[in-house]
Amino acid sequence: MREVQEIQAPVSLPQTSRPGRNITRIPYEKIHRPPEGGTSESAQSLALAAWATNDAVRDWNVASGELAWPVGLESLLGYKPAAVSGELAFWQKNIHPDDRARIALSIRDALAHAKRWSGEYRFRRADGDYAHLLERATIVRDASGDAVRFVGSLMDITARKQLQDQLIRSQKMDAFGQLAGGVAHDFNNFLTTILGYSDLLLDELGLKGATAQHITEIRSAAKRASALTSQLLAFSRKQPLESRVVEVNGLVGNMERSLLRLLGDNISVECHLHASTDPAHIKVDPNQLTQIILNLAVNARDAMPQGGRLTLATGTLRITGQAQPPCCPEKLPPGDYALINVTDNGSGMTDEVKAHLFEPFFTTKDDRHGSGLGLATTYGIVRQSGGHICIDSEIGKGTMVTIYFPKVAAPPAPSYKKPGANKSPTGTETILVLEDDVSVRHISVRVLRALGYEVLEAATGDDAQRLVAYHDRKIDLLLTDMVMPQMSGRDFATWLHQINPETKVIFISGYLEESMLPADRRDQEMFFLPKPFDPDQLARKVREALDT
CATH assignment at residue 141: 3.30.450.20
Residue ending a domain, choose from 110, 137, 156: 156
Q: Which amino acid is residue 268, in one-letter code?
A: S
Residue 219 maps to a domain: no
Over the range 372-397, which residues count as b (16 or more CB within 10 Å of their CB) and which as e?
A: bbbbbbbbebbeebebbbbbbbeeee
Residue 106 maps to a domain: yes
Same domain, 357 and 441: no
The answer to whether the beta carbons of residues 348 and 395 sit under 8 Å apart is yes
Q: Give pLDDT, residue 115.
A: 92
- DSSP letter string, 211-228: HHHHHHHHHHHHHHHHHH
Q: Give pLDDT, residue 257.
A: 67
Residue 476: closest CA among 385, 398, 546, 377: 546
Residue 76: closest CA among 160, 163, 155, 158: 155
434 pLDDT band, cuts 50/70/90, is: very high
Residue 233 maps to a domain: no
Residue 230 maps to a domain: no
With a cut of 90, say whether residue 27 has pLDDT above it: no
Q: Give pLDDT, residue 261.
A: 67
Lowest mean pLDDT among 18-22, 114-118, 201-205, 493-497: 18-22
373 pLDDT band, cuts 50/70/90, is: very low
Q: What is the mean pLDDT of the chain?
A: 77
Q: Give pLDDT, residue 361.
A: 47
- Torsion on CA atoms 127, 130, 135, 140, rounded to nearest 10: 60
Give the single-character DSSP code of 83. Answer: G
Same domain, 248 and 391: yes
Tens of pLDDT along 207-244? 677 877 888 888 878 777 776 676 566 555 445 456 78
Most confidently predicted of 33-42, 268-277, 422-431, 537-546: 537-546
Residue ending a domain, choose from 410, 442, 458: 410
Residue ending a domain, choose from 378, 410, 442: 410
Same domain, 11 and 140: yes
Q: Collapsing DSSP states into helix, strand and coil, what is residue 300?
A: helix
Q: What distance in Å separates the CA atoms of residue 499 and residue 493, rounded to the nearest whole number?
A: 10
Q: Give pLDDT, residue 50.
A: 60
With a cut of 70, say whether residue 438 has pLDDT above it: yes
Same domain, 136 and 256: no
Same domain, 11 and 147: yes
Residue 175 maps to a domain: no
Residue 236 maps to a domain: no
Tens of pLDDT along 100-153? 999 999 999 999 989 999 999 999 999 998 999 999 999 999 989 999 999 999
What are the angstrom distances between the C-alpha of 304 and each of 61, 94, 268, 371, 395? 48, 30, 11, 19, 12
Same domain, 369 and 458: no
Residue 512 maps to a domain: yes
Q: Which domain holds residue 456?
A: 430-547
14 pLDDT band, cuts 50/70/90, is: very low
Same domain, 267 and 399: yes
Q: What distance in Å separates the CA atoms of residue 58 and residue 73, rounded to the nearest whole number?
A: 8
With a cut of 70, say whether residue 421 has pLDDT above it: no
> Structural domain tally of the chain?
3
Which percentage of the chain shows pLDDT scores above 90?
Answer: 24
CATH assignment at residue 287: 3.30.565.10
Mean pLDDT of all residues in 288-313: 85
Same domain, 255 and 402: yes
Q: What distance in Å separates the CA atoms of residue 548 and residue 546, rounded to the nearest whole number?
A: 6
Distance of CA 248 to the CA centre of its chain: 25
Which percentage of the chain shows pLDDT scores above 70?
Answer: 72
Tens of pLDDT along 475-488? 999 999 887 877 88
Same domain, 326 and 451: no
Most confidently predicted of 210-219, 253-262, 299-308, 451-460: 451-460
Mean pLDDT of all residues in 398-426: 76
Same domain, 467 and 388: no
Higher model confidence: residue 253 or residue 310?
Answer: 310
Q: Give pLDDT, residue 22.
A: 41
With a cut of 60, say whether residue 12 has pLDDT above it: no
Same domain, 437 and 405: no
Residue 54 maps to a domain: yes
Mean pLDDT of all residues in 332-344: 89
With a cut of 80, say whether residue 45 has pLDDT above it: no
Same domain, 405 and 287: yes
